Amino acid sequence: MSESSRYHPQAIEASWQQQWQEQGLHATPALQPGDDAFYALSMFPYPSGNLHMGHVRNYVITDVVARVARLRGKRVLHPMGWDAFGLPAENAAIERGVDPGAWTDQNIAAMRQQLNQLGLSIDWDRELATCHSDYYRWTQWLFLQFLEAGLAYQKDATVNWDPVDQTVLANEQVDSEGRSWRSGALVEKRKLRQWFLKITAYADQLLDDLPKLEGWPERVRTMQANWIGRSTGAELSFPVVDADGHDTAERITVFTTRPDTIYGASYVVLAPEHPLVARLTTEEQAIHVEAFCDLVSRQSEQERTADDKPKRGVPIGARVRNPANGELIPLWIADYVLAEYGTGAVMGVPAHDQRDFVFARQYELPVRQVIIPEGSDEHAYEGGAWTEAGVLIHSGRFDGLASGEAKAAITAAAEVEGWGRAKVQFRLRDWLISRQRYWGCPIPVIHCDSCGVVPVPVEQLPVELPRDVAFSGKGGSPLAQLESWWQVACPCCGAPARRETDTMDTFMCSSWYFLRYSDSHNTALPFSREAVDSWLPVDQYVGGIEHAILHLLYSRFFTKVLRDRGLLGFDEPFQRLLTQGMVQGITYKNPHSGKYIAPADVTDPTDPRDPVTGEVLEVFYEKMSKSKYNGVDPAVVIDKYGADTARMFILFKAPPEKDLEWDDADVEGQFRFLQRIWRLVDGAAERGLSLADGAGTAAIVAGALADGELSGDEQELRRAVHTAITEISDDLDGDYQFNTAVSELMKLSNAMAAHLEASRPALACEALRTLLILLAPFAPHLAEELWQKLGGRSQAEALAGSSVHLQSWPSADPAALVRSTVPLVIQIKGKVRGSLEVPADADKATLEQLALASDIATKWLEGKPPSRVIVVPGKLVNLVP
């Protein structure tokens, strides 16, 4: 074989990438009315500067979706951008003195180049970066829309405060012991005035629209529903009593989903941050309450509410009256009650709530049963609370009612008597969007002593981030320290005023980027209504499960608000969602020391041992990460095998939503498969086959079929080709089963290797042509190179319009799938003794005749007629001697 005819991915991939770019192959077409638009979108990355295998898998999946849609005649939008604000750039600035903007732009350039090496069909003309002012200008504009709609507001909220560096910290800058990442100081909780978006105003819609998202994984919809957490119950008021047991004017309002258990309430608990705590605490309890509040202020919300953590509390000395039965019960504070959730107060019903049960047992509070299972004796709650519905006891006028009726009856009584009302409550809280950081989108408002909060006039947008900033990591946000930046005149009255120095949560920037791609060069608006309505909702969104809640929920919220503002005309942003599985690498761990060992340091993978101690290592697959030394660098794989092999391996190794175990031998296997395809097609080209030979295929085939003139090889070849079209088309409809599609390509190439040479040029050409078009979405460079070879064109001569990627998806010919003969199994006395090829349409009598006349019958029956013959048409004939 001559050297020139070998498969060298390195020799073809870069030049095809360049040619496609020059020919504008991936440009988004202008839409005409009636066009079939398709929007394929990957979740955009944070520009860390390094592409990892998780990225590669995400973008390759989306790329195949986009390429298949194009071949199927759809008008495709497949963009890419950068989620470019956030902490790492600011940390780099603090630690190394680099400009965060320049640092980010360098990373973007590096990653764009790495993405291009994968052969992704991205329209780079629509690229955006959230940290560039031509983008964040519109993030600010949209914030003002929320402000105008009454959906953005300020209130006090708790933040992490580093007392040494005098700065606010993000949650990820506080370690597991509650210390600052930089100063090591114990982090304090401080109340600061913060900006919120009123996502709770859309809680009902965000929940009620979930069933519409049929193209989303069930798991993601469930996670969103739980996050929103709608519960129906009642708000009940417990009057605070004085030392003599008389009602005061103060009321503690609790929310409960179980008003039927109110007679079992034996205490009421407030969040330590509840505003009434200071006022109601008695003198004797003051010192305990203060110490407890101090302790709780150092705990994270997660620590406070985790099921496996002990619940702690102290009584504050005051008592309340149970409004249902008049009983006086103590008032406590406890770490598991959060001020931000519900009313910041709960009633303790130990017999019917497991958390209350544990708490009551620990502090020797009374446990009183008021619900029993229907038709049973009293439950002895030794093992824990009885949390199911049942029948009421010890509940005065409500005794004997079932839980469901009792909920309604007690709530109604409370409403009439003025101590409660029905209430729907959500777990979802308003979205805290302000950050006391530099590298984020500035919030476009001005604070004026006389006018209050004044929006920056739209014509003054963007409020640009100043670039001449010193980063010390101390003394609060660099913006707050830059007087020349924040000192402005009030846009309303002209008096000296102060620019807002908080920036936005980066989730703000990512909640609308998919809208901007539809019209990314618009300088008058974030996007035109016409453009956004013609491309969206996104047809297929692909990204990690880690975004199942926040990013997707915020994007849905933005979409609904902008719809209500008349800026777009749809309810949901993402029609279908695919959450791809993780990429896992082989991981070696010393079970005694807990240390991870790099695969390169393991001399014998069949007997893996610690290179230092000689101990036997544990071997398993886990998500690739630097700390476990189990990562595989995409650049190394591409250098060695080419992008097409990397793509084929990733698509073949596992269905897209499942985890994928990296395996070098399987990568090698895909490389060899592509080599076989190269030899197959290249060999055909060497024999003088050309795509031009295919012109008469249809006529020849139609004529030949009518005359029954296709040879056996030709019939097998056509059946393989049209089976592949049918199967691969099925695999790409609905759920994307790329792994089975690649298997079908392998079957097709095997059939072609067996029957191509013995088939006439027109039929061989049909097979070659189909193979390359079906292969094109998966291995785009190889398919293009071979397509041009068969077209008799060199790369330099390849013309716009001739690309394999501009062809149409083939359709299957049902006639080719029909077999004229089928195999018939011959059994003698129930045992398989051989098989015959018989006409597919043969009737029972014919099958019996053919079986009896066969060599198999002659051999096994020794000339005697059988005593019995059983015929199963299409399957077998059983001859019983």
Kindly list the residues in this chain that would bind Zn ion in the complex (CB under 5 A).
Answer: 448, 450-451, 490, 492-493
Give least dist CB 457 to Zn ion, A. 13
Q: Select from 703, 687, 697 the least CA-distant residue to 722.
A: 697
Q: Select from 431, 413, 429 the least CA-distant residue to 421.
A: 413
Beta strand pairing status for 876-880 and 868-872? antiparallel
Q: What's the rounded Cα separation, in Å, for the pair 43 and 121?
A: 15
Closer residue to Zn ion (CB): 65 or 446: 446
- Whether the link from the prior residue into 462 is cis, omega within 30° of 0, is yes
Closer residue to Zn ion (CB): 497 or 552: 497
Q: How many residues does the chain have?
A: 881
Q: Is 675 helix (H, G, I), strand (E, B) or coil?
A: helix
Closer residue to Zn ion (CB): 493 or 616: 493
Give least dist CB 499 to Zn ion, A. 13
Closer residue to Zn ion (CB): 495 or 702: 495
**Diameter over CA atoms, the chain:** 117
Q: What's the rounded Cα separation, in Å, for the pair 271 and 262?
A: 20
Give least dist CB 495 to Zn ion, A. 5
Closer residue to Zn ion (CB): 495 or 635: 495
Closer residue to Zn ion (CB): 496 or 823: 496
* Contact of 749 with 771, CB cutoff 8 Å: yes
Give least dist CB 446 to Zn ion, A. 8
Strands (E), 410-464: 420-426, 431-432, 434-435, 445-448, 452-455
Surface-to-core class of residue 96, CB atoms within 10 Å of its CB (0-12 exposed, 13-18 middle, 19+ buried): exposed
Closer residue to Zn ion (CB): 494 or 801: 494
Give least dist CB 490 to Zn ion, A. 3
Give least dist CB 460 to Zn ion, A. 15
Q: What would the two tokens of residue 119 be?
A: 């052969």
Q: Please list, in sequence order, all residues whose beta carbon lies within 8 angstroms of the beta carbon of residue 862, skipping any fewer than 6 positions away.
A: none
Q: What is the dihedral of CA 810, 816, 817, 823, to 10 degrees?
A: -150
Q: What's the rounded Cα separation, in Å, for the pair 787 and 806?
A: 11
Closer residue to Zn ion (CB): 495 or 815: 495
Chain-centre distance for alpha carbon 398: 48
Give least dist CB 219 to Zn ion, A. 50
Give least dist CB 498 to Zn ion, A. 11
Give least dist CB 491 to Zn ion, A. 8
Q: What would the two tokens of residue 839 be?
A: 């006409």
Closer residue to Zn ion (CB): 448 or 767: 448
- Whether the link from the prior residue into 537 is cis, omega within 30° of 0, is yes
Mark out the alpha helices in 209-252 (DSSP H runs): 218-228
> 808 φ, ψ to 5°?
-100, 145
* Contact of 181 with 220, CB cutoff 8 Å: no
Closer residue to Zn ion (CB): 453 or 861: 453
Give least dist CB 155 to Zn ion, A. 22
